[in-house]
């Protein structure tokens, strides 16, 4: 079956503009995660959804970052008034999460964001 998909693959924007990044999880996966990966670094947790709700928003770096998930499927990560330090690869993952944190997360290919 289809894996996690993300769009766009690459995004170049100017400082101060807003961007929206999209994640389409594996069908049937109720948990969805957003991560940020800066060049040469590991992954930084941003936010996690269980269904449409986000019980943990602690990882969002600032109030310029927001995320939503509708219909228990597609999620959008929005960055307002982008800054150069927002440049990174944004990865999305999904898991079955049948109540267990131990479910394996399956990753999308990521969106590479460059803020000029």
Partner 1 sequence: AQTVTQSQPEMSVQEAETVTLSCTYDTSESDYYLFWYKQPPSRQMILVIRQEAYKQQNATENRFSVNFQKAAKSFSLKISDSQLGDAAMYFCAYVDSNYQLIWGAGTKLIIKP
Which residues are near partner 1 by CB under 8 A? 31, 33, 35, 40-45, 48, 55-56, 59, 89, 91, 93, 101-102, 104-110, 112
State phi, psi for 75 to the nearest 5 degrees. -125, 150
Of 48 and 115, nearer to partner 1 (C-beta) is 48
Of 13 and 106, nearer to partner 1 (C-beta) is 106
DSSP-derived pairing of the beta strands 111-115 and 10-13: parallel
Q: Which residues make Cβ contacts (< 8 Å) with residue 3, sequence separation at least 6?
A: 26, 106, 108
DSSP 101: T
Of 80 and 103, nearer to partner 1 (C-beta) is 103
Of 4 and 79, nearer to partner 1 (C-beta) is 4
Residue tagged 């994640």 (tokens): 23
Residue tagged 């996966």 (tokens): 29
DSSP 4: -
**Structure token pair of residue 58:** 């602690």
């Amino acid at each position: 079956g289809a894996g996690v998909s993300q769009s766009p693959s690459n995004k170049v924007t100017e400082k101060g503009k807003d961007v929206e990044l999209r994640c389409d999880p594996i069908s049937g996966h109720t948990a969805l995660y957003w991560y940020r990966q800066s060049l040469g670094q590991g992954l930084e947790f941003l936010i996690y959804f269980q269904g449409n709700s986000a019980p943990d928003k602690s990882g969002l770096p600032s109030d310029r970052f927001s995320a939503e998930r509708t219909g228990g499927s597609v999620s959008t990560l929005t960055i307002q008034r982008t800054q150069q330090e927002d440049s990174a690869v944004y990865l999305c993952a999904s898991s079955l999460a049948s109540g267990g944190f131990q479910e394996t997360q399956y990753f999308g290919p990521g969106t590479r964001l460059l803020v000029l």
